[in-house]
Each structure stands twice: as structure tokens, then as C-alpha cells.
């Protein structure tokens, strides 16, 4: 899976200390969004509310410091996505672009879409190679076991190159695919409980590639929802429950209304 890179001096960098903590968090979430959706640093406008909608309004008790920094420009200090985005744009962390924003120097520090796809293809080929090796080893083990059961058995009674062996290889390739899906789902899902049940679910239901992508996209979205964040993730459903209830079909909650902080 792709990752994001953040310098150790991120929190002490002049461009970071001049913006509020929520704006810093929004910037990091933007990096994660772009890396997940392979947008090469582009953030569509519709994604901003998704990334910031769970930010709670809070009472700023450091207005004087903010005024010195030029962040507060009016008597009514409204905590909104726009106010946080404005800070990121003013400090050139984000650049205004058609239909959204571009993260400054994203491709200089993060993997591009082409890099990620190349990495995924290498992993896929490695998985196929492992599947072929497993199928061959399985066929050889079956031949040896059958020979041990009947010492008088003719060498022609079991041929690893027969249709039975071909079917075994196909079945093994398919099993490898579902195991890969289960593994990728397990990495993406924030609650790590009941891995065996997750693997059984994928083996039984055999989701298509399109459906599996829909499931991963939904996990990426709900990771930022209030119910999944509050109390350290206490209310995140068990992964097996999430799969059985088809929770990827759920609608996202409506973003909370922002208030004006005076």
C-alpha cells in the first residue's frame, strides 16, 4: 500500500507554526487522501468537506497571538473549512487550481500514481509466481501421498500433468486472489479483530474487483467519520460484522453545522 512522507521538522517549520493545529491536521489528511486516491497532489473541492467535516468547533483563547500572526481579520472568528483552507493557501501549502487545490511539491516528496501502479503490478506478479509454486508443490505432495498409500500402484495411476492437476492450479490461483483481497482489506480496516473470519468471508463471497474497490473506497471515507474517530475508535464495527452487513453501501453522515466563535 502507498504511504506518505512527512519531514521530522514538520511541526516546527515556519509554514507550519504560522497556521492553526486544525489546519495542520487538514494538510496531513490531504496528503493521505491524495496518496489513497492517486491524485498526484490534487484535492477536489468536494473532498475538502469530507476531510474536515468532523472538526469540532472550539473556543479560541489565544486571539491575541492569532491577531499578531495576521490570521484573525474580523471580530467574528468563524471555524469553517474555508478559514482553514485560507491559511493553507496563504502559507503556500496548497495552491488554488481548477476544481480544487494542489498540494505544494507533492510529487517531490510523495509517490506518484505511476510509481504506485508499478509497485502494485510488481506485487501482483510476485503473488502469481508464488501461486504457481504452491500449486506445483501441492501436486507433488499429492502424488507422493498416493504412492505411499498403495505400493503396487502403477506410475500411470496418478499423473501431475493430467486435468486434475490443471484444475488444482486454477483453484490455487483463485485462492491466492481471495487471500490477497483479505490481506489488503485487513490492512485498510482500522480495527484488527477476527482475521480468520475475514479470510473465510472472502473465500465464501468471492467479491469482484469492482466491488472490492468500492469496499476499500468506503473504508477510506468512513475512517474520518465522527463515529469511527471518537473514543479511540470504540464504535468502529468488527470487520466481519462490517462485511456481513454490507456496510460499504451505507450513506455517509451529514457534515455538522459550523458555529461562529466570538
Residue 1 pLDDT greater than 70, yes or no: no
51-59 mean pLDDT: 62
For cell 468500492, name the residue.
214
Distance CA 253, CA 226 (A): 9
Residue 255 pLDDT greater than 60, yes or no: no
Q: What is the reported pLDDT for 96?
A: 93
Distance CA 37, CA 255 (A): 21
Residue 28 pLDDT greater than 60, yes or no: yes
**Which among 55, 46, 47, 1 is positioned nearest to 23, based on CA atoms?**
55
Q: What is the reported pLDDT for 106?
A: 93
What is the separation of C-alpha 221 from the centre of its chain, rounded to a whole number of angstroms? 9
Residue 46 pLDDT greater than 80, yes or no: yes
Predicted confidence band of residue 261 (pLDDT cuts 50, 70, 90):
very low
**Which among 232, 220, 262, 248 is positioned nearest to 50, based on CA atoms?**
220
Residue 259 pLDDT greater than 50, yes or no: no
Continuous segment of H or E residues that includes residue 196 = helix 195-205
Residue 64 pLDDT greater than 90, yes or no: no
Global pTM reads 0.46
Report yes or no: 27 and 84 within 8 Å, Cβ to Cβ.
no
Angle separating helix axes 163-188 and 209-222, nearest 10 degrees: 10
Q: Of the given ranges (20-24, 77-81, 120-124, 198-202), which has the lowest mean pLDDT?
A: 77-81
Distance CA 246, CA 224 (A): 19
Burial of 68 (0-12, 13-18, 19+ CB in 10 A): exposed
Indicate the average pLDDT of the chain: 77
Burial profile 113-143: b = 16 or more Cβ within 10 angstroms, e = fewer: beebeeeeeeeeeebeeebeebbeebbeeeb
First to last CA, the chain: 43
DSSP-derived letter for residue 82 is H
Predicted confidence band of residue 62 (pLDDT cuts 50, 70, 90):
very low
Report yes or no: 33 and 101 within 8 Å, Cβ to Cβ.
no
pLDDT tens for residues 145-178? 666 655 554 444 445 554 555 555 555 556 677 8
Residue 41 pLDDT greater than 90, yes or no: yes
66-85 mean pLDDT: 60
Contacts of 57 (CB under 8 A, 6+ apart): 79, 258, 259, 261
The residue that leads in pLDDT, 254 or 185, is 185
Residue 252 cell numbers, joined: 455517509
Domain regions of the chain by residue span: 10-109, 113-249
Q: Of the given ranges (51-65, 121-135, 226-240), which has the lowest mean pLDDT?
A: 51-65
Residue 57 pLDDT greater than 80, yes or no: no
What is the separation of C-alpha 13 from the centre of its chain, rounded to a whole number of angstroms? 27
pLDDT tens for residues 192-213? 989 999 999 998 998 998 999 9
Residue 186 pLDDT greater than 50, yes or no: yes
Amino acid at each position: 500500500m502507498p504511504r506518505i512522507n512527512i519531514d521530522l521538522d514538520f511541526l516546527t517549520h515556519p509554514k507550519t507554526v504560522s497556521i492553526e493545529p486544525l489546519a495542520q491536521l487538514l494538510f496531513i489528511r490531504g496528503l493521505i487522501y491524495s496518496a489513497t486516491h492517486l491524485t498526484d497532489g490534487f484535492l477536489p473541492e468536494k473532498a475538502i468537506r469530507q476531510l474536515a467535516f468532523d472538526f469540532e468547533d472550539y473556543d479560541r483563547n489565544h486571539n491575541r497571538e492569532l491577531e499578531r500572526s495576521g490570521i484573525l481579520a474580523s471580530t467574528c472568528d468563524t471555524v469553517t473549512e474555508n478559514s482553514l483552507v485560507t491559511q493553507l493557501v496563504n502559507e503556500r501549502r496548497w495552491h488554488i487550481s481548477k476544481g480544487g487545490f494542489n498540494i505544494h511539491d507533492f510529487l517531490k516528496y510523495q509517490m506518484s500514481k505511476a510509481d504506485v501502479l508499478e509497485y502494485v503490478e510488481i506485487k501482483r506478479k510476485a503473488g502469481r509466481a508464488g501461486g504457481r509454486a504452491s500449486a506445483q508443490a501441492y501436486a507433488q505432495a499429492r502424488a507422493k501421498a498416493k504412492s505411499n498409500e498403495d505400493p503396487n500402484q502403477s506410475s500411470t495411476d496418478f499423473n501431475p500433468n493430467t486435468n486434475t492437476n490443471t484444475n488444482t492450479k486454477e483453484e490455487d490461483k483463485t485462492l491466492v486472489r481471495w487471500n490477497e483481497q483479505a490481506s489488503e482489506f485487513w490492512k485498510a480496516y482500522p480495527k484488527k479483530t477476527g482475521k480468520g473470519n475475514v479470510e473465510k468471508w472472502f473465500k465464501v463471497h468471492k467479491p469482484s474487483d469492482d466491488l472490492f474497490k468500492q469496499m476499500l473506497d468506503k473504508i477510506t471515507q468512513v475512517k474520518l467519520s465522527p463515529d469511527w474517530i471518537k473514543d479511540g475508535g470504540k464504535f468502529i464495527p468488527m470487520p466481519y460484522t462490517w462485511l456481513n452487513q454490507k456496510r460499504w453501501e451505507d450513506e455517509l453522515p451529514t457534515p455538522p453545522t459550523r458555529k461562529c466563535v466570538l
